[in-house]
Amino acid sequence: MGSLKLYALEEELPADEAARVRRAYIERETGVALPAVGAYTIPVDRVAKKNCENLIGAIQVPVGVAGPLIVHGEYAEGSFFLPLATTEGALVASVNRGCSAITRAGGAEARIFRDGMTRAPVFAARDVVHARTIVDYVNSHPAEIAAAAESTTSHGKLTGITSFVAGTSVFVRLEFDTKDAMGMNMVTIASAKAADLIVTETGARLIALSGNVCTDKKPAAINMIMGRGRSVAAGVMLTDTLIREVFKTDAATLAEVNMRKNLVGSARAGSLGYNAQAANIIAALFIACGQDPAHVVEGSLAITTVDLVSGGAYVSVTLPSLPSGTVGGGTGIATQQECLKLLGVAGGGDPPGSHGRKFAEIIAAAVLAGELSLLGALGAQHLARAHQTLGR
C-alpha cells in the first residue's frame, strides 16, 4: 500500500519477519527468486540494528581451515587453526602448506611495532599565515586536544598528532590507541570533539571530519610509512632441507623470486605493496572474523623479505597498516564470533588490547604462510599446476 518505507519494516516487525517481507517485495519487484539468500543461520536482531540496513538475508561464503600454525608472539603464543572464508580454489591449500613449513620450523615469530587508529580532519585557513597559526596551536596544546577527544570514550587514548598543510588546507592526523576494537567509530567521534576545540581556539573552519590523510580504505603511502591500525611483522627461519622437502626448491631460488617479483616487479609497477598475495589471506581472515573487508586495502600494503643465511633463509612479512579488532563491527555476528573463538581472541582481552594485538600477530603469521607457499610454488614452477588441480 506504500504506507511504510522499505527501511522502516524493523520498526513494525521482528527482524527475521522484516527481512522476509522485504525479500518478498524485492522478489516481486525484480522477478528474481531469493530462496538461498533467505536461508541463513545467524540471528539477525543484532545484524539488522548494527551491521546491515534493509536486510533481506545473507550471503554464505565457504570457510576452510588451515593449520595448525605455531606462532611465538608477545600476545599470540601457541598453535592455531586459521578460519579462511574464500571462494578461490587453492587458497586454503596454499596457506596450509605454508603453515606446515612454519610449524615444522618451530613456529613464526611475531611482534607489534605500532598500534594506532587514525582520523584526519581537514580545516580551511584564511591564508598561509593563519594555517601556520592553526598548526602552532595544535603543536603546543596536545594535552587539551587529548582531553577533548578522550572525553567521548572510556577506551580510546590519543597517542599522537601530526599536522600537514597544503596552501590553506590544514590536515590534523590524530592517532588513537583503541584497545581491542578496530576503532574507526571511536576515533571518528573523538576526532569530532577535538576538531571543535581547534575551531574554537584558532578560528579555523572545519571542512570535513575525514580529509583523506587518515587514510581510510584507500591505498596510501602515508599508511605504509606511518602505519595505521596495528603495525605488525612475522618471520621464520627455514633450513635448506625444509625448503627442499616442503617447497621442492631451494633458499637461493626463494630469495631471487622474492627479489625479482615482490621487490623489483612491484617497484617497476609502481605498487604500494611489495608482496605476493597478502591481500588473499587478509581478506579470507577478515571475512571469516567479522572485520571490515574494505580495510584489506590497507592490509595489503605488506612487504615480504627473504634473507639468505647460513643453512637456509629467514623469511618475513611486515604489515605496516592492519586495521583489525576483536570487538565491535561484524565481530559480534554469530558465525564470525565462532571463528574468533577458534583463534582464542573473541571479545575484549585482559588486559584491554591484548586480544586485538594477538589477532594481529596471528594474521601476520598467516600472511607469512601464504607468502612462503606462493614463493615456493613460483620457484618450483608449480603455480599453474596447482590452480589447474584445485582452482579451475
Please indicate whether residue 387 is annotated as part of the active site. yes
* Rounded distance between C-alpha atoms, residue 264 and residue 304, angstroms: 12
Provide the residue type at 139 as one letter.
N
Query: Which is the catalytic residue, given 72, 141, 382, 387?
Result: 387
For every residue of 32-73, DSSP letters joined together read ---TTTT---S--HHHHHHT-SS--------EEEEEEEEEEE
Q: Which residues contact 321 (CB under 8 A, 6 or more apart)?
A: 223, 224, 227, 228, 229, 231, 298, 299, 301
Residue 68 backbone zone (phi > 0: left; psi -120 to 50: alpha; other: beta): beta
Using alpha carbons, select from 60, 47, 57 the residue that is nearest to residue 19.
Answer: 57
Cell readout for 11 is 520498526
Contact 71, 112 (CB under 8 A): no
Torsion (CA) 167, 169, 170, 176 in degrees, nearest 10: -140
Taking every pair of C-alpha atoms in the chain, what is the biggest distance, in angstroms? 77
Please indicate whether residue 371 is annotated as part of the active site. no
Q: What angle in degrees, to the nearest 10, is found between the helix axes of 128-140 and 184-202?
A: 120
Cell readout for 324 is 583489525
Please indicate whether residue 292 is annotated as part of the active site. yes
Cell readout for 220 is 596510501
382 burial type by CB count under 10 A (0-12 exposed, 13-18 middle, 19+ buried): middle
Residues across the chain: 392
* Rounded distance between C-alpha atoms, residue 252 and residue 266, angstroms: 20
Query: Which is the catalytic residue, given 292, 307, 338, 382?
Result: 292
Query: Which is the catalytic residue, given 16, 88, 201, 240?
Result: 88
User: Which residues participate in catalysis according to the annotation?
Assistant: 88, 292, 387
